[in-house]
Chains A and B, each alone.
Chain A
Amino acid sequence: MERFAFFPGCLVPARYPAMEFAIRQSLLKLGIEIVDLEGTSCCPDPIYFKSKDKLSWLSVAARNLCLAEKTGVDLFTNCSGCTATLSEAWHLLHEDEELREKVNRRLAKIGMEWKGTSKVRHIATLVRDFVGYEKISETVVRPLDGLQVAIHYGCHLLKPSNIMKVDDPNDPSMMEDLVRALGADPVRHRKWYLCCGKACTDEDLPSNMMRDLLTTVRDEQAELLCLICPTCFGQFDHGQMRIAKLFEEDFSTPPVYYFQLLALAQGEPYENLGFERQRFKPECLKRFEIQEPVEEATS
């Protein structure tokens, strides 16, 4: 079994534990062993804390990387924001010797040193590269035949591409392939490349952008919007409701985190996956529930 250290971040374990549950269930079935890390903090977030002081941001990120190094395996994240911070930190520390020394001087205060022995991956690339689409398909017991799934890549899985090196940022295909591996049909809407807008503190800008994006998703008549980041998820769940009210339009495409979709396709019952807590519930998924064999009545 391949082993990887799990960097949970803040949002998934605290706000969306159903996503963590799904990750743990599905990785097990894919033959990946999770090594839990002790003492992790926020990555720290690449928007707010990074805006205060990049050097402190980098130092805390380096500490999280050191925790993974202690386990001797590579690390994976479940959030595109954590991926952005930890990948960029790894890259900066690797490229810039002076910066590395500065950060290691800070880390020395807590008895740590960044060496660069644990690499960083987003969980989506982890399953693509270490399991593969075919093997993912083999674990599917409820193929999501005919399900129309719009895709939201978000920004930080792909960009900056010279650091992420994950897929073509102008024409990516990995999420389509991941969705296809479950038997579903990926749908690329016209504004697929837009950002969820969460990081922007302006009010009108994200609302207008989100409205454009949701309009093209609706035009494609997708049943779901699949994504791989809890921040994007919040924007498309609570946020979508807000946009629908604001513009008085019918936007109601349920967002679903890819690993919950995977867990369902692998046989996890719908009601175990926490969907009832979403503003927009993906009830279309109920049609894939396996009829449990009815027990013979022994009267």
Chain B
Amino acid sequence: MAAEKGRAAKGGAAKGTASKGGKADIVHVDFAFKRELAEKIEGNLASFCYQCGACVGDCPAATYTDDFNPRMIMLKVLYGLGEELIGSESLLWECTNCYNCAERCPQDVKPVEVIISMKNMMADRGIYPEGVEKVINTFETTGRTVPMSSAVDKQRARFGLPPLPPVPMEEIQALIGPAPATGEE
């Protein structure tokens, strides 16, 4: 609970939105962000969040960090304040993808899927943590996340296994290109 308070304070401080007292109570919702997010698969689910906080208790990222809280993240999405979440130092990468939030949510929000959809928005803007981009590049050039090599095949031979077969890359490239930003399907 203490951590929750800490994060709430941090969220409140950002941009001064939704602060207590007087005119500052007014929240300006940025619908452009929400509409862009809704274009992503299951990106629209945050709309059904009623802020109960059931997703927080079993969230390992909330337990083990001071700044991550799936309820607060959904709140920012509801307010259209998502740009705060998708910068180059984005806290979204703290999510472990464990799906506990999706298990707990009474509204079928699947916070984890909303988070992944926001990562898609980051990718559209060319923002990736370094290690992440490396894995993506390996996949896009070899069709695998662990590329084939003679060392791999030698190890396989030790267990009587045949060499790894090549991946038909022209088929993979036909499915993944072109960049989603062009809106082409």
Q: Judge whether A160 and B161 touch: CB under 8 Å.
A: no
A184 at the interface (CB under 8 A from B): no
Given contacts A14-B164, A51-B120, A59-B176, contact A209 B103 (CB under 8 A): no
Q: Judge whether A53 and B167 touch: CB under 8 Å.
A: no
Q: Judge whether B116 and A205 touch: CB under 8 Å.
A: no
Interface size on A, residues (CB 8 A): 60
Q: Which of A48, A50, A200 contacts B96 (CB 8 A)?
A: A200
- Interface window among B45-53, B72-80, B150-158: B150-158
Q: What chain A residues lie within 8 Å of B27 (beta carbons)?
A: none
Q: What chain B residues lie within 8 Å of A194 (beta carbons)?
A: 60
Q: Judge whether B152 and A14 touch: CB under 8 Å.
A: yes
B85 at the interface (CB under 8 A from A): no
Q: Which of B99, B102, B180 contacts A56 (CB 8 A)?
A: B180
A75 at the interface (CB under 8 A from B): no
Q: Which of A21, A105, A156 contacts B159 (CB 8 A)?
A: A21
Q: Which of A192-213 touch B at CB < 8 Å?
A: 193-195, 197, 199-202, 204-206, 208-209
Whole-angstrom distance from the CB of B112 to the nearest CB of chain A?
9
Q: Which of A106, A197, A274 contacts B185 (CB 8 A)?
A: A106
Whole-angstrom distance from the CB of B89 to the nearest CB of chain A?
11
Q: What chain B residues lie within 8 Å of A166 (beta carbons)?
A: none
Q: Judge whether B97 and A199 touch: CB under 8 Å.
A: yes
Q: Judge whether B168 and A201 touch: CB under 8 Å.
A: no
Given contacts A52-B120, A201-B93, contact A160 B102 (CB under 8 A): yes
Q: Which residue of A lies closest to B129 (CB)?
A: A201
Whole-angstrom distance from the CB of A40 to the nearest CB of chain B?
7
A-side binding surface: helix, strand, loop or mixed?
A: helix
B135 at the interface (CB under 8 A from A): yes
Q: Which of A19-33 touch B at CB < 8 Å?
A: 20-21, 24
Q: Judge whether B110 and A54 touch: CB under 8 Å.
A: no
B144 at the interface (CB under 8 A from A): yes
Q: What chain A residues lie within 8 Å of B97 (beta carbons)?
A: 46-47, 155, 195, 199-200
Q: Which of B60, B116, B143, B161 contacts A50 (CB 8 A)?
A: B116
Q: How far is the CA of A63 from the CA of B99 in the complex (A)?
A: 25
Q: Judge whether A60 and B98 touch: CB under 8 Å.
A: no
Given contacts A50-B116, A53-B123, A54-B116, contact A205 B135 (CB under 8 A): no
Q: Judge whether B171 and A110 touch: CB under 8 Å.
A: yes
Q: What chain B residues lie within 8 Å of A53 (beta carbons)?
A: 120, 123, 176, 180
Whole-angstrom distance from the CB of A209 to the nearest CB of chain B?
5
Q: Judge whether B144 and A14 touch: CB under 8 Å.
A: yes
Whole-angstrom distance from the CB of A35 to the nearest CB of chain B?
15
Q: What chain B residues lie within 8 Å of A21 (beta carbons)?
A: 159-161
Q: How far is the CA of A56 from the CA of B42 in the complex (A)?
A: 14
B131 at the interface (CB under 8 A from A): yes
Q: How far is the CA of A13 from the CA of B144 in the complex (A)?
A: 11
Q: Judge whether A205 and B60 touch: CB under 8 Å.
A: yes
Q: Which residue of A lies closest to B41 (CB)?
A: A54
Whole-angstrom distance from the CB of A46 to the nearest CB of chain B?
7
Q: How far is the CA of A14 from the CA of B63 in the complex (A)?
A: 34
Q: How far is the CA of A59 from the CA of B180 in the complex (A)?
A: 13
Interface string of B128-152 (1 = CB under 8 A from A): 1101100110010001111110001
A161 at the interface (CB under 8 A from B): yes
Q: What chain A residues lie within 8 Å of B135 (beta carbons)?
A: 45, 48-49
Q: Judge whether B159 and A18 touch: CB under 8 Å.
A: yes
B172 at the interface (CB under 8 A from A): yes
A-B contact pairs, 9 of them (CB 8 A): A39-B165, A40-B167, A48-B132, A53-B120, A53-B180, A159-B98, A159-B102, A201-B131, A201-B132
Told that A169-B103, A274-B158 touch, could you supply 8 new A-B pairs with CB distance under 8 A? Answer: A14-B164, A17-B158, A50-B116, A51-B123, A54-B42, A63-B172, A202-B65, A205-B94
Which 5 pairs from chain A and chain B are nearest by CB? A159-B99, A51-B119, A21-B159, A14-B146, A41-B143
Query: Which residues in B have some Cβ–Cβ distance to A below 8 Å?
Result: 40-42, 58, 60-61, 63-65, 93-100, 102-103, 110, 116-117, 119-120, 122-123, 128-129, 131-132, 135-136, 139, 143-148, 152, 155-156, 158-161, 164-165, 167-168, 171-172, 174-176, 180, 185
